[in-house]
Amino acid sequence: MPTVKILNLTSKEVGELELPDTVFGVEMNEPLIHEAVRSFMANRRAGTSATKSRGDVSGAGRKLWKQKGTGRARIASLRSPLWKGGGNVHGPQPRDWSYNLPKKMRKRAICSAISERLREGNLVIVEEWKLEQPKTKDFLSTLSGLNLSGKTLIVDSLKNTNLMLASRNVQTAKVVNSYGVNIYDLVYHQKLVLTPKSVEELTDILRPRAKDDEEQYGSREVLGGPTKSRPASGRRGVSA
C-alpha cells in the first residue's frame, strides 16, 4: 500500500496516509483510459445538428412546366435539391451519439488514471481545505502555498461553500465531490488534490465489489419448475 504525506494549506506535513492498492495501485492501461475518455466525450455530444430535406423547405408543390416540349430539363418540384433553396440530400440529422461503457471498465479506467497521477507525484493530500472567506485571492494564495501550478482538480465536499465560491472564477482549477470525478477531468488536469475523507469515499466508490465479479451466465432457475424433456423425434401425428 503506497503511503503519502498529509499536508496543510501551508504545505507543512501533518501526518501520513496509506492508500489502498485497489484504487491507487492500479497499473497504467492507456487503451482503457482512451476508450473511457472517448465514451465520455461521445455521451456529452448534443447531436442536434440538422439540415432541411426537401420535405422541410418551403415551396410550391405544383409542376413548374410540362414534362415535354419545352426544351428544358424535366423537373417535378421547386423543392428539389437541384434548385437554389431546395432541400438537402443526405445531410446530418439529430441523433444520439452516446453508448454505454461497462461499469467495471469505467471504474478501472478511473483507478488507472488516479494511480498514474500518484506515480507522477502529482497527487496531493490536504488535511482540510478551509477558507475563512469566499475570496478568490485567498484561494490563489493557498494554491501557491501548496505549489499547485497549472490545471488542478480538487476533490472535496460540495458543502464547502467558501471553497466553491472562491474557486469558480479560477479557470485553471475545478472543484468536484467524490461522486463527480470522471475520467476526462483526471486526464485533463495535471494535479489532483484529495482530502482524507475524499480518499475514503473514492475507495468505497471505486473498489471492486464481489457482486461485480460474479458470473452473469451461471445456472438460472426456470419459472414453473424444471424444464420438461422434449419428446422423441418422429413424424407429426404418429405416436411413438
Q: Which of 9, 5, 36, 4 lies closest to 20, judged by CA?
A: 4
In the chain, the N- to C-terminal Cα span, in Å, equals 69
Read off the pLDDT of residues 71-123 as tens digits, 9 standing for 90 and up.
Answer: 998 888 888 888 888 899 999 999 999 999 999 999 999 999 999 999 999 99
Going through 82-218 in order, the beta strands assigned E by DSSP cover 123-126, 152-155, 173-176, 191-194
**Which residues have CB under 8 Å from 67's CB, separation 6+?**
74
pLDDT at position 216: 44
pLDDT at 164 over 80: yes
- State the cell numbers at 178: 467524490
Predicted confidence (pLDDT) at residue 202 exceeds the cutoff of 60: yes
Give the pLDDT mean for 216-230.
43
The answer to whether residue 43 scores a pLDDT higher than 70 is: yes
Kindly state the DSSP code that residue 231 receives in the 8-state scheme.
P
Residue 49 CA: distances (Å) to CA of 57, 95, 139, 147, 212: 16, 8, 40, 43, 38
pLDDT digits (tens, 9 = 90+) for 165-194: 999 999 999 999 999 999 999 999 999 999
